[in-house]
């Protein structure tokens, strides 16, 4: 699998729509603070609020992967001279 699938999903603040959050990377249970409006979220709360958005991004990622895989397979077949693909 290629590394660029490893992208992160952007979470949005419900109050100001900001995407910058301050959080302690060392501690998963620490709250997340919006850099735009200083609203504090629990990590789980923020993920829940962004659930639809996360699902949409996941679908997009999946279709991107599928497209890449298809392209790779096409390329692979093109390299084999005895198989022609229309």
Residue 14's nearest CA partner among 70, 40, 30, 77 is 40
Choice between 37 and 62, CB closer to Zn ion:
37
Q: In whole angstroms, how close is the CB of 55 to Zn ion at the nearest point? A: 21
User: Is 11 among the residues that bind Zn ion (CB under 5 A)?
Assistant: no
Instruction: In whole angstroms, give the CA distance from residue 80 to residue 86.
Output: 14
> Of 12-31, which residues contact Zn ion (CB under 5 A)?
13, 15-16, 18
Instruction: In whole angstroms, give the CA distance from residue 6 to residue 38.
Output: 28
Block residue for tokens 């850099």 = 35
Q: In whole angstroms, how close is the CB of 16 to Zn ion at the nearest point? A: 3
- Footprint of Zn ion on this chain (CB under 5 A)? 13, 15-16, 18, 34, 36-37, 39
């Amino acid at each position: 699998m290629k590394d660029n699938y490893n992208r992160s999903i952007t979470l949005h603040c419900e109050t100001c729509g900001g995407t910058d959050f301050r959080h302690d990377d060392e501690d998963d249970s620490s709250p997340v603070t919006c850099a735009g409006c200083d609203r504090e979220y629990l990590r789980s709360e923020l993920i829940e609020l962004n659930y639809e958005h996360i699902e949409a991004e996941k679908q997009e990622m999946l279709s991107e992967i599928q497209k890449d895989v298809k392209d790779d397979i096409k390329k692979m077949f093109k390299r084999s001279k005895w198989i022609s693909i229309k």
